[in-house]
C-alpha cells in the first residue's frame, strides 16, 4: 500500500487518536471493575453482618419459645391433674355425707 507523503501524518494522527480512545476505554473498564469489586466486598460484609444479627435474634427467639413451651407443658400437667383432684374431693365429700346420713 502506497500513501502519498501528505497523507502519512494524517494516518498516524488518526491511528494515534483511535489508540488513545481505546486506551481510555480500557482504563475506564479497569476502574469500573475495581469499583465493582470494592462495592461487592462491602456489600458482602454488610450482608454477613445482617445474617449474624438475625441469627442471634433467631437464637433468642428459639430460647423464648422453648421457655414458653415448658411453661405451657407445666400448666397442661396441672390442668390435667385438676379434674382428678376435684373428682376425688367431691367423691370424698359425698362419702362423708353418706356416712353422716347412715349414722343418723
> How far from the centroid of its chain's Cα atoms is residue 80's Cα?
39
pLDDT of the chain, 104 residues: tens digit per residue? 555 556 666 777 888 899 999 999 999 999 999 999 999 999 999 999 999 999 999 999 999 999 999 999 998 888 777 776 677 777 777 777 777 777 66
Please report the pLDDT score of residue 3 as a whole number.
54
Task: List the chain domain ranges.
Answer: 10-94
What's this model's pTM, rounded to 2 decimal places? 0.46
3 conformational bin, left if phi > 0, alpha if psi -120 to 50, beta if neither: beta
Query: What is the structure's pLDDT at 8?
Result: 64
- Report the pLDDT value the prediction gives residue 20, as an integer from 0 to 100: 94
Amino acid at each position: 500500500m502506497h500513501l502519498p507523503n501528505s497523507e502519512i501524518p494524517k494516518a498516524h494522527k488518526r491511528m494515534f487518536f483511535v489508540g488513545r480512545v481505546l486506551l481510555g476505554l480500557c482504563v475506564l473498564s479497569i476502574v469500573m471493575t475495581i469499583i465493582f469489586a470494592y462495592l461487592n466486598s462491602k456489600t458482602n460484609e454488610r450482608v454477613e453482618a445482617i445474617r449474624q444479627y438475625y441469627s442471634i435474634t433467631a437464637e433468642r427467639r428459639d430460647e423464648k419459645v422453648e421457655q414458653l413451651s415448658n411453661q405451657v407443658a407445666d400448666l397442661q400437667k396441672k390442668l390435667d391433674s385438676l379434674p382428678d383432684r376435684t373428682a376425688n374431693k367431691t367423691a370424698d365429700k359425698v362419702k362423708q355425707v353418706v356416712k353422716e346420713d347412715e349414722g343418723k
